Amino acid sequence: MKKTSVSIILFTLLASAISIVSISTAQAQVPTDITICSPDDQIFGNLPNPSSPICSNPHSFITHWHLSASTANVDGTHKGLTACTSKNPLLQYFDVELKCRYWQVSNFYVRNSDPKLPTPDITLISNITRNSVDIKLDTTAWNSDAPIRYYTATVYQIPNGNSQSQSDLSNFPSTTEEILAANSQTITISGLHPSSNYIIIASASSIDGTSAASAPTPIIVTKAPLPPLPNFTLSSNSETVTTGNSILGYTITENGGPVAGFRISPDPGLGLSFDSTTGLLTGTPVALGTTTYTISGSNEAGTFSSTYTLTVDAGIPSGPTTTTVTTFLALTLIWVAWIAYRRRRAI
């Protein structure tokens, strides 16, 4: 019995020694600063990657905790957290009041907590399209230990001709959109309508809460809707002309959306010119041959094209006409008859 008891005691001591070694190893792997995702400060769970935590839920706020020597740093503007390190080693986070088990080593962390959340300022409005706009918010005064997780943008649609302040925006229809925060502090407001007026206010949310709304933007006017696709016809799609003569060309009749500009391919030959505003080809061609030109007209909605084939030839060489030949022969016959008459008289 005595030998058995001694063996049990020695085994227990050996196991304890092994545990102490494991604890020391686990403790050494605790980072100086940690980043976690949590819906609130009283959380427990495995530590995600400290350098790039994965927060799949928009309301799983990101928090930054810093290793502290004691709990004395916890006050009205700081919060505390105990990290318990197990033998695995796994890191789990508990509320500061929760004690670690006897075989674990604990580390204490603190982070700043801002009870008075700063109001974001909208500093830039850019990239206004038919359906969206970008706004940049200044959040430099925000608590870096509780970064902004998402913005809440309230978008008011303002009737044409109205100039409203924030005090009476409630009279107009609005929509609310939550947008995940980005490092650039620029968010995109989508779902807008073309040729419409909007005013936007925004608030920011972190684990510490949600800020007051920003001052309203000036009225933002979205771009007009896309015009219809261009479409047109040429009065003539081909022409043959003799070198040295001007071409008749063609006229253009537009049947679709207005054309913002025309272009031609290939480039006009020597002696010809193309007007990109009217789409007309004019001039006196020099080079012989046949060329098929593609005339294209474009607007914001797209491009429409038609073709025009121009043939330039040398023409028929000039020579005497039938009338000239007939006259020449008649005069020759008269002259021969006159000579014959004179000779008979002379005999």
Q: In which band, very low, low, confident or very high, does the pLDDT at 91 lie, cut at 50, 70 and 90?
A: very low
Two tokens at 32?
């100086």
DSSP 28-55: HTS-SEEEEEESSSS---B---SSS---
* Per-residue pLDDT, 263: 97
Q: In which band, very low, low, confident or very high, does the pLDDT at 156 lie, cut at 50, 70 and 90?
A: very high
pLDDT tens sequence across 165-222: 555 788 888 888 888 876 668 889 999 999 999 999 999 988 888 899 999 999 999 9
**Segment 21-49 mean pLDDT:** 45
Which residue in this structure is represented by tokens 């008979």?
A: 344
Query: Largest Cα–Cα distance of the chain, in whole Å?
Result: 184
Decide whether 121-221 matches 232-313 in CATH topology: yes
Q: Name the amino acid, one letter, at 102.
A: Y
**Segment 261-283 mean pLDDT:** 95
Nearest Cα residue to 215 out of 312, 137, 297: 137
Q: In what order do the strands lie in the sheet with 289-299?
A: 238-242, 302-313, 289-299, 261-265
Average pLDDT, the chain: 76
Two tokens at 307?
């073709």
pLDDT tops 70 at residue 244: yes
pLDDT tops 90 at residue 316: no
Q: In which band, very low, low, confident or very high, does the pLDDT at 80 lie, cut at 50, 70 and 90?
A: confident
pLDDT tops 50 at residue 50: no
Between these two residues, 209 and 57, which has the higher pLDDT value?
209
The H-assigned helical ranges of the chain are: 2-28, 322-346
The CATH architecture of the domain made up of 232-313 is Sandwich (2.60)
Contact 111, 38 (CB under 8 A): no
3-state DSSP assignment of residue 304: strand
Q: In which band, very low, low, confident or very high, does the pLDDT at 104 lie, cut at 50, 70 and 90?
A: low
Class (C level, CATH) for 121-221: mainly beta
pLDDT tens sequence across 224-233: 999 999 999 9
Among 25-34, 86-95, 238-247, 322-331, the range scoring the smallest mean pLDDT is 86-95
Taking the domains of the chain in order of start, what are their residue ranges? 2-112, 121-221, 232-313
| 270 CB-contact burial (10 Å; exposed 0-12 / middle 13-18 / buried 19+) | exposed
All residues at 6 or more sequence positions from 233 whose CB lies less than 8 Å from its CB, including other chains:
252, 253, 255, 306
